[in-house]
A and B are shown apart, each in its own frame.
Chain A
Amino acid sequence: MVVLNKELMTIVREVDVIPFRNRLKEHAVKIGMGLVNQTKIITAASELARNMLKYAKGGKVTLEVISTGRENGIRLTFKDQGPGIANIPMAMKDGYSTAKSLGLGLPGTKRLVSEFNIESEVGKGTTVTVIKWKNG
């Protein structure tokens, strides 16, 4: 897998999400991703950025355009140094929320992307990586 483009953005305030979403959209359009897949990855990104803001006081997101040769896609890595998640399987359940919100962010995101990975250590932070293939 090769990385065709890589940029790092910091998200510490709610308004930071807008330029990030716009940048993501630009890249998705550039690789020819269709409107439905664009909408899915941007919605997923929105959920993950919101989680970072809400639970970890912000963090950093790496936006990469990747290619396997056969297929192009976008990889996003959300990395924060927040409290971490003690029970990941629980957090991945529909409706589970420690904030009394809908609890759809993590499980919903997983459904919206092609590949999903979450790593978290209590007291250290959380890293969520997602890939959306152009035709995935």
Chain B
Amino acid sequence: MEKIPILRMGRLLLVTIQVDLYDRLAESLEADLVQMINKTGARGVLIDISAVSIIDSFMGRIIGNIAAMSKILDAETVVVGMQPAVAITLVELGLPLSGVFSALNVEKGMELLRSKLTNMERNVDGSDDGSAE
């Protein structure tokens, strides 16, 4: 079966969706990602959808699910590269993908994820020693 490759880059997982997803492919991506986060302890997931020209409510829900599930597993999801026509359509459809951080491109997405991870670690450190600064 066709699969969407998941790349590991340090603490981040990178997924580039190159084809227009159909249901089973999207569902298997969701399952594969969860498994991969568990296996690698990844802290961030970057999904590049710049090649995706259609997102309907099913696909939108899968992306939302991936973000929600990653969060439970302590990883942040950033979706990058949404085509403007897709973004306009999603809003009219009634699904503005709230809760999933969006960035313009992979580079910006990486930056966003890295800074979020650094912030999270700082917060954890701060609460661990209990000292107020």
Q: Give residues in A with beta carbon < 8 Å to B.
A: 14-15, 17-18, 21, 35-36, 38-40, 42-43, 46-47, 50, 94, 101-102, 104-105, 107-109, 111-112
Main DSSP-derived SS at the A contact region: helix
Residue numbers in B under 8 Å from A111 (CB-CB) = 92-94
Q: Say yes or no: A101-B85 contact (C-beta < 8 A), given A17-B22, A40-B92, A111-B92.
A: no
Q: Does B56 contact A (CB under 8 A)?
A: yes
Residues B92 and A108 in contact, CB atoms below 8 Å apart: yes
Residue numbers in B under 8 Å from A112 (CB-CB) = 89, 92-93
> Given A46-B54, A109-B93, list of 13 further CB < 8 A pairs?
A18-B20, A21-B20, A21-B54, A35-B85, A40-B88, A40-B92, A46-B56, A101-B58, A104-B94, A104-B95, A105-B57, A108-B95, A112-B93
The listed residue with most A CB atoms (<10 A of its CB), out of B24, B53, B84, B93, is B93
Residue numbers in A under 8 Å from B89 (CB-CB) = 36, 39-40, 43, 112
Residue numbers in B under 8 Å from A46 (CB-CB) = 54, 56
- List 9 A-B pairs, minimum CB-CB distance, nearest first: A108-B93, A39-B85, A46-B56, A104-B57, A36-B85, A102-B57, A104-B94, A39-B89, A35-B85
